[in-house]
Structure 1
Amino acid sequence: MKKLMSCILIISIVIMAACGSGKGNKEERTVRINCHDVYAATTLLVMKEYKILEKYLPENVKVEWVELATGPDIRDAMVSGNLDIADLSLMTFIMGYENKLPLKLVSYMGATPIKVYSNSESINSVSDIGTNDKIAITNKTTTLHAAFLGLCEDKLGDAMIYDNNLSAVPAADALASISNSDDYKAAIFSFPNCSKAEELDNVKLLEDMSDVIEKYSVGAASVSSSEFYDNNKDIIEAYKKAQDDVLNYIEENTDEVSVFLAERFGVSAELVKEVIETMPPSKFVNNYDLQAKLLYDNGILTSEPTKFIELENYDEIPME
């Protein structure tokens, strides 16, 4: 009799555990996604505005949009478990990954036009910048920084030649400074701030870094915390499907999307449309290893970087 009761008890526990497991799968979940007003995050801006992700998410999942602006803040929020998917510069991801941070690359997101300007009559190219001339940049480990490293590597043979010249300055302050003072002899801007710089009478273009951006795959990527990625594969797949939908929507409705983005960026829709046509959002990373090598060769990475093909989830990353 005791054996029979024991068997019944064990079976009951197994059944209850199974029922509990099934119930757990139906519990409400939230995916927290970072999105802020930069052109490289166009995919997320459109995804949020038109509620495209919601079409693909399981019924028990809701979206919470977060607006963190700097790479370090975004990275730290992901590592601490307060953010699940975010737009990070590929440079920030590579550095974080090589420093053993629990991050996974979901997909590429896109690049943005980046240009170098000067307000000095004596500076007509990047090579004219002096040893003590300050260069305004929003921050290091950004797409702007990665592009400038590639430019200096290819044009001057030394990616770090102006490393000590770079000064972290908010873009709005940098625009005001090069317009009204000579505190900074040069400044690096991405779209739409590069367009605003071109409206200034005393500011001239030194370098358009579009070729460098393409060569080194300089841009933003969709990144997830490793824990979220591994435990929520259905949400990650939903995100990828939504990204495909967004890219198709932008291609088929460029005028509409241009108007929407123009309102966010404070520039004309015609200008946004031109950028979309010349540098459209993309989900493919083409030259990951080349950018990683650039960082390693110039001491930004202290150990030889992991090859793209050796990333843990390589087979799940969209590739052409």
Structure 2
Amino acid sequence: MREAIRRYLLERLPDPKAAPRPELAQYAQLLRDYPERGGKLLRGQLLLATAQAHGAPPERALPAAAALELFQNWVLIHDDIEDASEMRRGRPTLHRLYSVPLALNAGDALHAVMWRVLLEAAYPTPVLQEFARLVETTARGQHLDLAWIEAERFDLSPEDYLEMVRQKAAYYTAVAPLKLGALVAGHTPHPAFEPAGLQLGVAFQIIDDVLNLEGNPDKYGKEIAGDLREGKRTLILLRFLAAAPPAERARAEALLKTPPAEKDPAELAWLHARLRHTGAVAYAREVAHRLAREGLEALTPVLTALPDPEAGRTVLELLEALVEREA
């Protein structure tokens, strides 16, 4: 499934070798950069397998799966710019390889390609409406994430984090693939897809936060402890701040308020160690596994009762892989 999605996606992007001038060859390369770096394409595979579980042939769902991965790529380009991230999939981020204006423009172009792929597939209105919903939902969640950093907010609760993550990451990671898979197959999505998908999507993001602190640098693909450098309000950080002695909390907040490029590496190393040694990381991992377990338990009877139960079991395996991963 992964290679079929990747091939379909890349075939719809411009070819640098066919460009009429050097500048447009560079433009084509910018659009292809993140998609060609690899990735698991889990969201596209989820959509494709869900459609097959509902009885749709793969070719019917392939454009939607590719469009969802195009969404993932243009959102990552924009996200990397907004967060001043340094690494993506094991290489420097696009705006560091080129420039912010060129990377931003490439993200906009991939957004347009996403809609072109969907329109050319002649999907019915509900499919397009669901894509619009996932774009808007993700943008709302991203705004919460960025606004908290800009406002130097530290009075946040775990529920604030969960609200943000449900919108920023969980919806498009798990809910949208499940719902779109049903919709492209001509079915109404099961009511369990949204609540259970949100649990699994949140679990995915929490594990991503954990890996940002404990992941294998050779597999993770992004800078370790980048969330601390960027000042992200993760469940891990909020857990630590809530229990930290006043002096440690003040020290951590002072560090997190410092602009990324000005943060003291020694202070980052201190906070990184405190998050791990105080049990905040272990707590977040436990929350993720509980949410994943509950989400899978809710979806198992639904997915295995679909027209193609074998494909339904593949969906469950892919959902479990969102959480049970090293990078």
Specify which structure has the higher proportion of helix.
2
TM-score, structure 2 normalization = 0.26
TM-score normalised to structure 1 length: 0.27
Larger relative contact order, structure 1 or 2 (CA cutoff 8 Å, min sep 6) = 1
Between Structure 1 and Structure 2, which shows a larger proportion of strand residues?
1
